[in-house]
């Protein structure tokens, strides 16, 4: 009887110990599953918060297109029509720019240019840009198409001067630079004047229709626009322009320097 009692107690004790151990293992597994699940949830929340934070602080993409057309005329009554398009897409860090321009003077052939640039923010208010430029001049008898590599800076200098500075490396050892700066001055919320200055510098040119080295052209003027809305802006423009002549080559005759006052009016549209 005592032996049976002892055996029963031993079996019961062993069963209880096994049950307790099994229960503890189950609890450990549940806890591990909970830890893994909570970790995954935390990672998902963290990733969501990071994306939301990035979107609120420079992660969005924007787009802006500007189309401008104007008619200018010098004191001699010689006129020209100029059209420009600029569109960009991207965020605060990375953007893609596309620009196109057309110019047609009276009694002269048309000229066209376009640029495709990648823009990356490198400092507050400043982007580094690089890409290609295509030029077409219908007045030339040969080599009407030209392609240049482009690198430059685009941004805002002190006192809110919007500034562009580019270096071009093209065919036939043509190296040149362009500089442009402008600033808005508000007379009222809708009436705005904009002084501006721009210059082109030829560093080297061995092409068939070469320009003279040095300061190739300068334009300084004052634009006055009235913003009917942020999308429609008619304007008038007064500027002084200097253009150095071209070199004499077997394909062209040398020309003299041209400088004159120009007056114009146009319309700028943004969307």
pLDDT tens readout for residues 54-110? 555 557 999 999 999 999 999 888 899 999 999 999 999 999 999 999 999 887 888
d(CA 181, CA 168): 18
Q: Exposed/middle/buried for 148, CB within 10 Å: 0-12, 13-18, 19+?
A: buried
- Which residue matches tokens 């007064």? 238
d(CA 169, CA 242): 23
Q: How many CA atoms lie within 13 A of 18 on its CB side?
A: 6
DSSP code at position 261: E
Nearest to 107 by CA among 84, 135, 145, 78: 78
Name the pairing type of β-strands 126-137 and 145-157: antiparallel
Q: What is the CATH number of domain 62-270?
A: 2.40.160.40
Domain-by-domain residue ranges, the chain? Answer: 1-60, 62-270
- Is residue 109 within 8 A of residue 102, CB to CB? The reply is no
| Regions of the chain with pLDDT less than 50 | 1-21, 23-24, 35, 45, 47-48
Name the pairing type of β-strands 258-270 and 232-243: antiparallel
Question: What's the confidence (pLDDT) of residue 141?
Answer: 78
Question: What's the confidence (pLDDT) of residue 80?
Answer: 93
Q: Which residues of 252-264 are buried (b: 16+ CB within 10 A; e: fewer)?
A: eeeeeeeeeebeb
Q: Helix, strand or coil for residue 166?
A: strand
Question: What's the confidence (pLDDT) of residue 112?
Answer: 94
Question: What's the confidence (pLDDT) of residue 264?
Answer: 96
Question: What's the confidence (pLDDT) of residue 108?
Answer: 83
Query: What long-range pairs does 159-168 form, CB within 8 A, spacing at least 24?
Result: 159/183, 160/184, 166/129, 168/133
Nearest to 233 by CA among 264, 265, 267: 267
Nearest to 264 by CA among 229, 230, 232, 240: 240
d(CA 24, CA 27): 5
Question: What's the confidence (pLDDT) of residue 210?
Answer: 83
Question: What's the confidence (pLDDT) of residue 56?
Answer: 58
DSSP code at position 271: -
Nearest to 118 by CA among 109, 128, 104: 128
Question: What's the confidence (pLDDT) of residue 138?
Answer: 82
Q: Helix, strand or coil for residue 230?
A: coil
Q: How many CA atoms lie within 13 A of 251 on its CB side?
A: 12
The pTM (predicted TM-score) of the whole model is 0.76
Contacts of 132 (CB under 8 A, 6+ apart): 115, 116, 147, 148, 149, 150
């Amino acid at each position: 009887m005592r032996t049976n009692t002892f055996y029963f107690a031993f079996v019961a004790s062993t069963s209880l110990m096994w049950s307790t151990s099994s229960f503890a293992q189950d609890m450990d597994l549940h806890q591990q599953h909970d830890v893994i699940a909570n970790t995954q949830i935390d990672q998902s929340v963290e990733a969501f918060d990071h994306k939301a934070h990035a979107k609120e602080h420079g992660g969005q993409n924007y787009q802006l297109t500007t189309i401008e057309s104007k008619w200018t005329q010098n004191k001699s009554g010689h006129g020209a029509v100029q059209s420009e398009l600029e569109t960009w897409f991207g965020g605060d860090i990375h953007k893609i720019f596309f620009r196109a321009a057309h110019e047609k003077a009276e009694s002269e052939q048309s000229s066209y240019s376009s640029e495709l640039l990648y823009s990356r923010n490198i400092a507050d208010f400043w982007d580094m840009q690089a890409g290609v430029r295509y030029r077409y001049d219908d007045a030339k008898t040969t080599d009407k198409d030209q392609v240049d590599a482009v690198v430059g800076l685009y941004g805002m200098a002190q006192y809110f001067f919007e500034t562009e500075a580019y270096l071009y490396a093209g065919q036939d050892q043509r190296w040149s630079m362009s500089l442009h700066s402008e600033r808005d001055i508000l007379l009222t919320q809708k009436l705005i004047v904009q002084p501006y200055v721009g210059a082109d510098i030829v560093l080297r040119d061995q092409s068939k229709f070469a320009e003279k080295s040095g300061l190739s052209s300068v334009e300084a003027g004052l634009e006055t626009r009235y913003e009917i809305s942020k999308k429609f802006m008619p304007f008038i423009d007064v500027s002084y322009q200097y253009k150095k002549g071209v070199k004499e080559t077997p394909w062209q005759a040398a020309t003299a320097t041209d400088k004159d006052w120009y007056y114009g009016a146009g319309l700028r549209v943004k969307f």
